[in-house]
Every structure is written in structure tokens, then in C-alpha cells.
Structure 1
Amino acid sequence: MIDGVARGLRAASCALALLATSAVAAPDAAGAWRDAFQSSPADYDVATAAPPPVTGTLRSRFAVAVAGSRIRIRVSNEDGAEALAIAAASVGKAAGAGFDAAPGTLKVLTFGGRRAIVAPPGAAVLSDPVDLPVAVGAALVASIRAPAGVRLQPSGGVTMAAADGDQTLADKLAGERRVAGRPPVSGASVLTRRPPRIIVALGDSITDGNRSRPDQPRGWPEALDRRLAARADGAPRAVVNAGIAGNRVLATSWGDAALVRFDRDVARIDGVSHVVILEGINDIGAGGNDRPLETADLIAGYRQLIARARARGIKAVMGTLTPFAGSFYFSPAREAQRQAVNRWIRTSGEPDAVIDFDAATRDPAAPGRLRPAYDCGDHLHPNAQGYRAMGDAIDLRLFD
């Protein structure tokens, strides 16, 4: 009996994976589907126990990087150890700065024509499309009701709203409380008449963008996206953020290693032309996988990411690692590794292009440190001004 259930779950997972791959890629007379938002799924290998599952309605807020007429959302259980049962779901335009929906905009979401669906462990599910015209940068709210609960780990770095019962169609959640974790709504795609080329930002928390409020811009990828959207010339471009706080290139701990998640978070996306890789400071700060980190191993990991990108026709852009002197990670030996990695990024000629984030954020008086005006206070992560400086430092011609 157990073997039969396992085979059934594996078959369902394969079928759902096929749906997630084919549905977005399917041609449409009204345009093409493009990923407009991503929050890469992540589990966290942390010592603290996760809080109890969140039951009732769970609502997240996000902005889309693509304009269009229809939308569908992606719900992930790819890192789940148990099946995720969804009894109801909705999407609509956000109102104000919190988790309220603009009146009259919430749409019922279905999955294969049904309101309820079960996502087996390891699977993601796509909703059916709904009519919801959106502009570039439009803020949306998406809700799911999970009767058995959703397990969230507080290390996820994203603030969401939770409320009792089925409030997926409520403009304002009654008894709303804030929860932190990695949102199960892991993506959204938009049907657009002008399908842009997609730039994926692959990185850690400096890419994911630390923020204290859900309406704040997340980080440098969003700053880059705003600049690209404002550009009048050239083909349309959009930036999808695939950052995970705490992530590493070589080791799986806070989310799957970049080498593990590359296909899921980058290569599967329709229309992706470039990937910007800014990752490795956590490899240096936390060491290797059960052994001291060798700089050559990290560079070998970068070479694999570049090779896998090019095998899919994707240009690999490398970002230099930003300063971290004064942070809890710092030591002179680790700084020497950062400098060695940055020399390779700048001089090897192996990436298709280089963005010098180090030069954009370092303190001219103490180059191993973040510029004080850009430091959030932990000497590792930029603040909002620092993220803007990173986004402004990027030559838009890299993506022509």
C-alpha cells in the first residue's frame, strides 16, 4: 500500500511538473507568457525549530516586472516534506502599502478548473490564467487557503499576512497577523503582447534584498528593472529575482546550492537571455561543505554555472563580491579569498560580462568596507541607498 501511494505521488509530481513546464510555454494568440515574479523556494538548515504550521489564509505581496492582460501564479511545495493541500486561492491588485486588495480586483484561482489541488512533496502547481491587466511594477496580493497548514521557517526573509478561515476573497483580512518565511506563492507569469527578454538575478540575501516592510523595494535587481523599464530604446527587458538569503554556490544549507537550483530557478524560465550571478560571500564566510573552503573550488563552481548557462543559450554575467569588513563573517583570510575571487571575475575573461558591485559599494577610505552611507548597519548588507547604487552601477548595454 505504501509503495502504491509513493508511486502515485511520484506520478502526480511528474504530471504537475509537466503542467508547470508546458503551460507557460504554450503559444497564445494574445501574446506570450513570461515570468514576471519569482521567490525561489528554499528550505533552511537551521538549529531552531520551525513554528507550528500556518492554517487558514496566507497572503503574500509582490510586484510584477512584466505588463500584460492575464496572470497565473505558481505555488511551490518543492522543498516540502509533506503534501500541500490548497482549498482556495486568489490574486488581485494590492491597495496601499500592506496586504489589502484593491476593491473589486480579487480573482478566484483554479487549478485545472478546480478550486482545490494537492501539491505532492517536490512539486509545483500552476493556476489557470485569469484576466487581470497589470502594468510593469504593479503590486499584487496572492492568497491561498491551506486547511492542514503551511510550514514556514522564520529564516525565509519575507513578511506575509495570515488570517483565520477562508478569506482569500476578502479585500481586507480580518484579524490579520504578520508571519515570516518563504512564501508558497513562488512565482507569477503574465500574458504579454510584447514579451521581454528576461534577466535572472541569481544570488543570496544581497540579491534577495533585506527589507522590513512588504512594500519596500527588495534590492538591486528591482532597481535595475526600473531602469530597464524606463529605457525608451531597445528591446524590452525584465528582471526576475532568484535570490535566497543565506544561499551558497557550493553547499546546500539555506536553500539548495546555486549549482543545485540553477535549472529550476534560471534555465526553466521562458525567454531568459542573461543571468547575473552575485553569490559566494556565504561560501567564503561559512566555509566549504564540511571542510575549509578552497578558493579554487568556488571558482570551479562559477565555471559550472557559466557552462550550464551557455549550454542553454544564456549569457552569464558575474558580479564582484561586495565588501564585508566589520561583519560577523570577516577575517583577514576570508578577505584574501574575496579579493582572489574578485580578481578572477574581473580578469579571467570567462564570464560574458562583469558588473563591479565591489567598486560601486566600497568605502574609498577603507576599500574592504562598505561605504558608510550604503551600510545597513551589519557591515555586510547594503541599505536601500546601497541597493540603488548597485542597480545604478550596471551598464544597461550589457543586456543588448
Structure 2
Amino acid sequence: MREHIRKLITPSMRFEIRKFLTWAQDIMGRACLWRWEITSFRLQTSNDYEVLYVGRKSRKEMAKLLIGGKPEVDTKPGDSTQQRGVAPHRVLISEMPSAGALYVPHYLSAIIPLGRPLEEIIARYDGELRRNIRKCRPLYRMQQVLTDEEIGKADREMLQPYAQARHGLHAQQFDSQDVLRIAKTVGRLDLVMKGDEVVACHFGCVITRAGKRYWSTLRFGYPEAVFNDPKRLREVNSITTFMALEWAIEQGFDYYDIGQCLARPDDGLLKWKRRRGGDVDTLGNQAFMFVRLPKTGIAKFLWEFPLFAVEGSRLTLHLGLPDGPSDEEIVDRYREMVFGGLFKIYIYCAKAPGELLLENLRDRYAHFQSPPILEKVVCN
């Protein structure tokens, strides 16, 4: 009976059901007000912004990560920065909406549109990356593992240690039973071999959204000998991602999801995925925070801490143009914040930007099929 009902529900409907259940679970978690706290923290000693955080204690570290600062010791809400002789510019981060707040996702996925030749996709890679892939790709092969023992070994020796080494206390480990279940049903786990040596593993699954099929990377894993060697890790990481892309194209998928990363425009991992053709997408992520910008110093704040936000179901990017930086510095700052998948870019200006600067920013998006709308916001 259960299997019969499952067959009546399309994969796209199952995706929407999972998305709704995740959203409902998050809302129920927010409703536990006894787990909330109200606290303040400074982002960095070099700036004069203070964050007032209102939400669950367990989500406070995520708030700090999303803004991207290196916070000092938390302070009490009444401990005003004015007492330290610094003009306070207060930012409110809350788990509940407030007037004018940005709806900021915790994580984004990087999605590569397929349905075109592999050579067309990698044509946008920089020259050095293309050369390295062509040189190293023949040395590697991928091999699916199917037994419980092999899957468990890859989880223990590669997936979990690499996540712990990369993210430390913030590592979100997959439950071992979930790894086993997914690898034997809607996904697969592959070992990446260089000769006879296992140098990586790839854990992925199929996602169907709005009738389109995505091959989604859930997690990469590497043995300690690889992830402790930065040069070797760079090579293996690039080849593992490339092989997953190859496989997705061979299997006729519509998109390849390189995987989730922190939804911060200057995040290094997101930039790495952008250079491989990944467009930003929430892809079912239902974890958000509400960020209300400071009443003064908005342009400077978003210059230091740019933000993604969601309007309806569409992604926006919020950037700042403060007094001080030259046009060359601004262009250099935002050089690697050019993302496909955006609906709109808001430019918060402390002064009227030069037309050449705006034209430069527009030109960076000219090659996209649907370039984002560029909107200026005059602020103090």
C-alpha cells in the first residue's frame, strides 16, 4: 500500500513535500521562545558596527558566520558602544521578521545548467584550470561502491574526517544510516581512484524539481593524507568535481548541483564554485534569518559585509558603495561577486556613482541569458 501511494506522488511533488516539511520544522523550532536569547556582539575591532541578535542560542553562531565577521566576546544589550567612545551603528539579526529586514538564507547551492556540450561549459573556466583538468583527468577514474561495508568505510574514513577538518565545530555530519540508505536508493557513493589508490569519494543523489532532474553533490570526502596536503587537495578536489559533472551530463541530467555552501557573497567556497560555472540557487533550503540594516552607515556596512537575500522565490544581492574607495577599488572588490541566478542587484550608494562604474558592473553580467536588474539605492 505504501509503495503504491509513493508511485502516485511524482518526484517533483516529493521535493515540494520535503521542502514544506523542512519549512514547518524550522517554524516550529523558532516557536520555542524559551530557547531564545537577546545579546549583542561586535563584528570586528576595526569597525563600528554592533549586532543585536534575537533568536535561538543554537543559531547565534550562524548569524556571526553569515555576516562574515570575527566577533569579539558577546556583550549585554545595554552595553552601548557609545560608552566606549564609538558611534553605534546597530544591525538587528532576528529569527522573526521585522519592518524592512532582508530575508537572508543560511545556505545556497551552486547549480550548473546542463543540456549542452561539456566543452561549452568548461570554456568559461580560467585557462590554468582548463589546462590542469586536461592534464590530470586521464590519471583518475570513478568506481561506485555498493556493499554496506564499503559505504560505511568511505563514510568513516573520508566523509566524516574531511567535514570535521574543514568545518570544525560547525561540521554537519550525515547520519551513517542516512548515508547507507541514500547511497543504495536515490543516490550513489563513488570512490575516486588515482591508479590503485583511493584519493576521494563523492556522495550524491537525484533531486527532481519542477520536472527537471538535478544530480546533486551531498558531500565530498577525502582521506587524511589528501586533505592535509593543500596542493594535492586542490588537484583531487577539482578532478572529483569535474568527474561528477561528466557523469551528470552522461546520464542526461538537466542540472548539476555542486553542493551547498554558506550564503555569503565573499565566501571562498562559493567563489570556487562560481569559477566552475555554478549559478546561485536556494534549491529547497528553508533556513533563513532576518537582517535589518543599520539606520546610518548602510553603504559602508554592505561594502564590508555584502548580503544575499530572497524576494518571493528570487535571489537578490545587496552591495555597498561608500565614500572613500576609488572606482578601481570598487571594481576590484566586486570582481568575484558576479553570480548567475540573480534576479536583482541593489547598490546602496553614499554618493552618486560614476556612469563608467555602473557600466562596468553591468558588463560583467552581459553574458548571462537573463542579466539581473541593477537598482541604485541612495542612503546616508
TM-score if structure 1 supplies the norm length? Answer: 0.26
Structure scoring higher RCO (CA < 8 A, sep ≥ 6) equals 2
Greater fraction of residues in helix = 2
TM-score if structure 2 supplies the norm length? Answer: 0.27
